[in-house]
Amino acid sequence: MAESIQVLLVGAGVVGRAIATDHLLAGCEVWLADRDEAVLSEACDAVLQRTDGRADSASPWGALVPIPIVHLMPKGLDDHPVDTDAVPVWLVIESIAEKLAIKQAFFAEVENWFSRSPILTTNTSTLPIGQIASAMHIHPSRFCGMHFFMPVVGRHAAEIIVHPGTEDAVIAVCEEHVRGLKKAPLRVLDSPGFVVNRMLAPYLNLAMQLLCAGLSATTIRAAALRYGMPMSPLELIDLIGPRTAFDGGRVVWQSFPHRMDPSPLLPAMVKRSLLGVAGGKGFYDYAEDGVRKGDELSAEVSELVDRYARDDFGAAEIGGDVPLVADLFAAAMWREAQAIAATGVADEETIELAMSGGLGYVAPESNASWRGHMNAIREQRLLPLADRFPKLKSLQ
């Protein structure tokens, strides 16, 4: 029988619909499923509106999916009859709740949905791939991580996270699928935070430490842009979602407590049910279309910043020094990259792609790379910061 790859995306929340949108814009049809039919319907409308795609209720052949499902097709894809002689290999991308027990139960169940061995992937940004695979009884060797970054459409890389039992053929299919989405596949080892989240955690935490130490959100945004990031770290937290950012940051902090002192601001936002862009309120207020309403912090976050005002490492002397804050951001991520490379989680080339394709970094100098920029400023600007701010763990 001829072989074809078909994509089943399970989970129609904010991230799931972003992944579905990215597939359709890349010309790839996808079956989208969710246990909540109302959530699925809302996601379908949102995806089709952004992509001008089409939807139908065609059943996924070679699979028995016991939850609500819809077939999404990109604009320009001609209707084509189902080839009943071509039983597809299903590539499952899971984007459900970021809880280990929930994901383990899901993959133990989903193994039985297909008449032919599927390829199973999780979009987790925080959970150990090997622990999820340990709950699988049939296909643990056909399982790996496939981690997309937010905003999915604007990021040109995805992490492929393998565990010791992942088949080489499965890795090859996943990497080829990522390339088909016009993204670079970043193969990394199963380590806390993988690469992108591990780089991101000290950067986002530092931004919140600075905010609670009295620096303005405007200074933090200006410094991030000067450093080469596409948006403020506070806006990025809102885009990811404070809950997801908290989960990811906690994994990194608990695994590497010598690398960062977690700010109390993010868990306080989670307790207040501030959902970021998805809920219309986070560090900033947002309109229904996700556009930030203004430059002022939301009233709720301003109150929390006042409540948790503290200076963990002597940030009071910084004031509105945008170049200095930009160098602090650079130094924190550079130090984390050194630790990642030293332990073999990823090589320097992969880290470079993670910065550009995963985080949207663009070096201030024309035609420079992230690594090139770090090397250019390391001796004169980055290394002295560790002595100047000895209490800032992420610089040591």
234 and 147 in a common domain: no
356 and 246 in a common domain: yes
Whether pLDDT at 85 is above 60: no
383 and 234 in a common domain: yes
173: nearest Cα among 185, 190, 157:
185
285 within 8 A of 295, measured Cβ to Cβ: no
242: nearest Cα among 215, 204, 211:
204
Distance in angstroms (rounded) separating the CA atoms of residues 199 and 195: 6
Q: What is the CATH number of the domain that holds 347?
A: 1.10.1040.50
**Mean per-residue pLDDT over the chain, rounded:** 94
203: nearest Cα among 367, 368, 379, 360:
360
Q: What is the CATH number of the domain that holds 81?
A: 3.40.50.720
pLDDT-derived band at 87 (thresholds 50, 70, 90) equals confident
Distance in angstroms (rounded) separating the CA atoms of residues 5 and 142: 14
Q: What is the pTM of this model?
A: 0.91
Whether pLDDT at 2 is above 80: no
93 within 8 A of 8, measured Cβ to Cβ: yes
357 and 326 in a common domain: yes
208 and 296 in a common domain: yes
CA distances from 338 to 324, 331, 389 (A): 21, 11, 19
245 and 169 in a common domain: no
The range of the structural domain enclosing residue 23 comes to 5-189
User: Quick one: average pLDDT of 356-369?
Assistant: 92
Distance in angstroms (rounded) separating the CA atoms of residues 317 and 147: 39
224 and 159 in a common domain: no
208 and 335 in a common domain: yes
High-pLDDT (> 70) share of the chain, %: 97
Q: What is the number of structural domains in the chain? A: 2
Task: Give the N- to C-terminal CA distance of the chain in Å, as an integer.
Answer: 57
User: Quick one: average pLDDT of 366-393?
Assistant: 95
Among 147, 163, 189, the domain-final residue is 189
Among 151, 170, 189, the domain-final residue is 189
pLDDT in tens, 181-239: 999 999 999 999 999 999 999 999 999 999 999 999 999 999 999 999 999 999 999 99
221 and 146 in a common domain: no
368 and 306 in a common domain: yes
pLDDT in tens, 233-276: 999 999 999 999 999 999 999 999 999 999 999 999 999 999 99
115 within 8 A of 87, measured Cβ to Cβ: yes
260 within 8 A of 201, measured Cβ to Cβ: yes
Whether pLDDT at 84 is above 80: no
pLDDT in tens, 91-114: 999 999 989 999 999 999 999 999
Q: How many CA atoms lie within 13 A of 245 on its CB side?
A: 34
140 and 24 in a common domain: yes
pLDDT for the residue 78: 64
140 and 41 in a common domain: yes
pLDDT-derived band at 295 (thresholds 50, 70, 90) equals very high
Among 143, 163, 189, the domain-final residue is 189
Distance in angstroms (rounded) separating the CA atoms of residues 359 and 349: 15
205: nearest Cα among 241, 239, 248:
248
pLDDT-derived band at 1 (thresholds 50, 70, 90) equals very low
| Alpha-carbon dihedral angle through residues 291, 296, 298, 302, given to the nearest 10 degrees | 160
